[in-house]
Structures are given as C-alpha cells and as structure tokens.
Amino acid sequence: MMLCTSVPHSTSSQVQYTSLSSAMPYSSADKWRVFLAYRTVFTGPYAQIRKSKKVREVIEQHKASFKPLIKDFEFNKVVNIVKTLLDQRVFESKLKAKIVFPSSSKPHQPAMSNRTSRKMMLLGPQQKL
C-alpha cells in the first residue's frame, strides 16, 4: 500500500519523490507493537481515518499516554505505522488484525514440563503445586 506522504530525494538536478511506505519498511514486530498500543484509540470512527494530517492530530492528542513508544520509535515513525495500519483496515476488526498478524494474535503461554502439566490436570486450577 502506498502512503500519500512523500519524501524528496535529489538526484543530480532533479528531485524525485518516493512514498514513505516504500522508503521505510517497518518490521512486523514494530507494527504489532504500535497496533497493540493504539488499538484502543483507533476504534469506531477513528478506525475510518485515512488522512495523514488527521492521524497525526489524533496521535498528538494522545501523546502523553504513549511517551515510551514514541520515545523508542520517534513520533513520525509511529504516525507512519498507524497510517499504514489504518490503510490496511487493521483497526476495524479483530479478524483483519488476525490476518495481518497471524502469529502475534495468539496469547503467549509459557511452556510447562509434562510433569507440571500432569500435576495441574490432577490437582485442578485451585490447588497449589
């Protein structure tokens, strides 16, 4: 998907524009982290936003709540990732999110040894091991 925003690149005497989505690919892990952070913000009518300026405004309004993420990724990167996810309609439904993030949507459960899992089955969830 192409973003409307572009970045100028100068070559000799000409200036070429490259879309941000092709100039800056983001890892699935980065997109997953941003999705988890902003999935409560971009719901309902906010999930329908597609314009970069409006995405930037909404993220700016909630900036205080997401300081660690914005510090790690920088504001513009967060805006670009959210815009990409909105364009892919990931915030609109859980099904779409599961399609885009198939392995990330499963809750992580620590592995148990066979002995521990057998004890839990025998004792039940209320009993201590």
pLDDT beyond 90 at 24:
no
pTM of the complete model beyond 0.75: no
- 16 falls in which pLDDT band (50, 70, 90)? very low
Mean pLDDT confidence for 29-56: 96
- The alpha carbon of residue 127 and the mean position of all alpha carbons in its chain are separated, in whole angstroms, by 38
85 close to 31: Cβ distance less than 8 angstroms: yes
Amino acid sitting at position 19: S
> What pLDDT is recorded for position 25?
84
Mean pLDDT confidence for 8-31: 58
pLDDT beyond 50 at 6:
no
Interatomic CA distance for residues 20 and 71, integer angstroms: 20
Mean pLDDT confidence for 93-107: 81
pLDDT beyond 60 at 129:
no
> What pLDDT is recorded for position 14?
46
Q: Which two tokens stand for residue 48?
A: 């329908």
pLDDT beyond 80 at 66:
yes
- 103 falls in which pLDDT band (50, 70, 90)? confident
32 close to 52: Cβ distance less than 8 angstroms: no
Mean pLDDT confidence for 96-104: 88
55 close to 81: Cβ distance less than 8 angstroms: no
> What pLDDT is recorded for position 92?
95
